[in-house]
Structure 1
Amino acid sequence: MQSGQTGTMTRSRWLAIVGYSLVGAATQLVWLNFAGITTVASSRYGVSESAIGWLAQVFPLLYVVLAIPCGLVLDRWFRSALLAGAVLTAAGACVRLIGDDFGWLLAGQLIASVAQPLVLNAVTGITGRYLPEKNRPTGIAIGTASIFAGMVIAFLLSAIFTTAASIPTMLTITAAFCAGSALVLAIAIRHPGPFELPTEAVPGLHPGSPAPAHSPHPNRSALATTWGDPLIRRLCILAIFPFGVFVAMSTFAQALLEPAGVTGGTASTILLVNVIAGVLGSATIPILVVRRHAESTLLVVSLTATAAACVLLALAPGVLTGFVAITLIGLLLLPALPIVLELVERRTGEAEGTGAGLIWMAGNLGGLIVAVVVGLLVDHPLAAFLVMAAIALIAVPGARALRRPIAELRAQSTPQP
């Protein structure tokens, strides 16, 4: 009986991760619904392609503004805030079905974009509350991989529903997926997680750190304490670079490779394979890296390999090099995110929502900055790819310098005999 009860409890804990993963994928699906059908959508709704682009661009713009407030809300009312994010994502997807015009699309996107930081910032919190410590790297890897999987679903739907007449069907399928995901999550987290910290528990930060960031009721002092931690600041600064390169590559790969004879359809396939490789890498590589205590090494390798891939694209652009280089970037660069988030979860304790919010904010900010720089060079592919290579290389010394603080964090997390 005891064994059966343990098995049931374990399944219920992982159900929370499944529910979160579905909602995480839903946020990306709503975000990128129109990424592969920009021209078709602009003709259907009678607006410019630039206007259709804003349906996606509102997400990172609002994320930069809302990342920290949403992190603080998650730290204080975790389950309610996460469920609100799931409901708002579904609501945004459903609002787009009310009327067949651009105004309703934009309204739905704005609602869902407010929800996104409530969901994505919770990836460390859901694992910390529902999984034992030994399983948390796996939970974070799965949760993060599901976010990238949502991108894959969005690309697949846009590849299937390619005509103006089929857009409403695509939006209906998206709304159904979002609503179902919210329902699964609501069932999965109807009870508090078994690993909620008691009032007196103050784990995580290095000795001498102020306690409020680990209080069960964090407030703005949690932000000051979290940002005041040198390791968290380093991780935030580091996140700017890989996020920036990935966003810029995803945004401009087609335009940069076009002069080399790479068609739009081929570029879309390359980017789809890139994200699929990232999903597989994010679901597996971080688990192995954490077990082998090789977090800093993986970050160095991924950034160096990304720089080399960008140089290859600069010197020898083409279909083959595009597939090889951009797939390698997805496979090695995207797993950096769950690795960084797992370090944040270990470091910040009950303020992991604020910590994750800082990482996501830094990453989205990096994406905006690097995309703007690369966009200015879109007519000069050689320079654009070399700039991305340089940005990746700039972060390598910072990734290497993490080796000692990560080792110290690991020593503090290990129970003393």
Structure 2
Amino acid sequence: MHEPRSRWSMVAVFALLGAVTQVLWVTYAPVADAAGRYYAVGDGAVGWLANVFPLLYVVLAIPAGIVLDRWFRGGLAAGALLAAAGAVVRLLGDTYVFALAGQLVVAVAQPLVLNAITGVAGRYLARRHRPTGIAVGSASTFAGLIVGFGLGTVFADDIAALLVVQAALAVAAAAAVLAVLRTPAEHRTEAAPAGFGALRIAWGDPYIRRLCALVFVPFGVFVTLSTFAQPLLEPAGVPEETAGLILIANVVAGVAGCAVLPVLASRRGWELALLTTSLLVTIGACVVLALAPGVVTGFVALALIGFALLPALPIVLELTERRAGRSEGTAAGLMWLAGNLGGLVVAAVVGMLVGEPLLAFLLLAVLSLLTLPLLRSFSRVSTSVPARSPTS
């Protein structure tokens, strides 16, 4: 019997939705000062319009994964509708209350969308195409950050127009996803166990737990550099505008890495080798930033970190999809939960060292170094063996 065909239309519309959720997340980051004036609030209040996303992800990652494992099409449809609804809520008034309410709704949608990366690949793509599908889904989230910052630059002086454009993108993405979801998936249609059964299966697998531990620091390093690169590089004479360009280069390099490295890793069986390399590159780049910070080293080091470190996410998600079987949504939720916790914890610690860039960058290098021994607990054979049979 031939394996059902791959439906790339689902991957395409899902990638659009994934990108839009990230656009909505960083809406106010590139226009923080203008948003503060528009809503008549301080920098702290504007910061919360983005900070609610990782905080709610920590709370909702597992419930969203359970929903996707049991009712994948309904869960993803809900995520699409919530993302569009949140973007529209922000248009209902020009006060901070509507802005925060809209961001909260989108933040609820985000785990339903991002946890579905592995599910889309598993349900709509043939086995040989799934690494590519996961890489595309992951890369779309990083591409969304680039688009979000780009839109902020274009509409820096017109917050109202910025919100209208983003709402139109969100509604269009939701409509496209709902249209494609009308056709049932042809791959892996068996539902996961009811209640917390999927969580017990996923967390009960030591391999999944090790993957969670593995993503904690790399995700935390990326979030920390995205948050504090500008103040950490400022003492070395790097202007704020240049730091923004450095961060864009970091994400662009990451999207390029996601387009190449995860697929290569899956085809050649190089997953663990590339994960090890990503950590080594991160360690070296952070040491360079600690000892010789500057414009040139900032561009080169953060571009290398982006190219090597960001593809670690789709690689880990592909290993998760291959391993977790019918509990893949919950397992993916565990990965995102661990990553967001890493972002919160590592960023909080480094945030106390913003005035000491040398120590901050060296700490990131040491944390990455301490993650390397975790890779020794993995083997190529174990990446191919499901935690449970789909019929168990």
Using structure 1 for the length normalisation, give the TM-score: 0.90
Q: Does 1:73 align with 2:67?
A: yes
* 8 Å Cα contact 1:26/1:181 also seen in 2: yes
**Structure 1 residue 111: deviation in Å?**
0.4
Q: Does 1:178 align with 2:152?
A: no
* 1:354-409 Cα distance to aligned partner (Å, 9 max, x none): 0000000000000000000010000110000011111111111112432x1x3233
Match of 1:383 in 2: 359
> In 1, distance between residues paired with 2:166 and 2:194?
35
* 8 Å Cα contact 2:32/2:46 also seen in 1: yes
* 8 Å Cα contact 1:32/1:155 also seen in 2: yes
Match of 1:407 in 2: 381
Q: Secondary structure at the match of 1:196?
A: coil
**Structure 1 residue 329: deviation in Å?**
0.5
Q: Secondary structure at the match of 1:99?
A: coil
Give me the CA root mean square deviation.
Answer: 1.3
> In 1, distance between residues paired with 2:189 and 2:247?
41
Choose from 147, 161, 164 the match for 2:155. 161
**Structure 1 residue 143: deviation in Å?**
0.5
> In 2, distance between residues paired with 1:262 and 1:391?
25
User: Sequence identity of aligned pairs in percent?
Assistant: 54
Following TM superposition, the consecutive aligned residue runs of length 4 or more in structure 1 with deviations greater than 4 angstroms are none
Q: Secondary structure at the match of 2:82?
A: helix
Q: Secondary structure at the match of 2:381?
A: helix
* 8 Å Cα contact 1:75/1:218 also seen in 2: no
Choose from 236, 241, 245 the match for 1:269. 245
Match of 1:20 in 2: 14
Match of 2:95 in 1: 101
Q: Does 1:233 align with 2:225?
A: no
* 1:271-293 Cα distance to aligned partner (Å, 9 max, x none): 01111111111122100111010
Q: How many residues in Structure 1 have an aligned counterpart in Structure 2?
A: 384
Q: Does 1:352 align with 2:344?
A: no
* 8 Å Cα contact 2:201/2:327 also seen in 1: no
Match of 2:390 in 1: none
**Structure 1 residue 412: deviation in Å?**
7.0
Q: Does 1:145 align with 2:109?
A: no
* 8 Å Cα contact 2:322/2:386 also seen in 1: no
**Structure 1 residue 411: deviation in Å?**
6.4
Using structure 2 for the length normalisation, give the TM-score: 0.96
Match of 2:182 in 1: 190
* 1:152-194 Cα distance to aligned partner (Å, 9 max, x none): 100111111122xx11111111000010001111111211111
* 8 Å Cα contact 2:192/2:198 also seen in 1: no
Q: Secondary structure at the match of 1:156?
A: helix
Match of 1:242 in 2: 218
* 1:68-109 Cα distance to aligned partner (Å, 9 max, x none): 011001101100110100110010011001101111000000
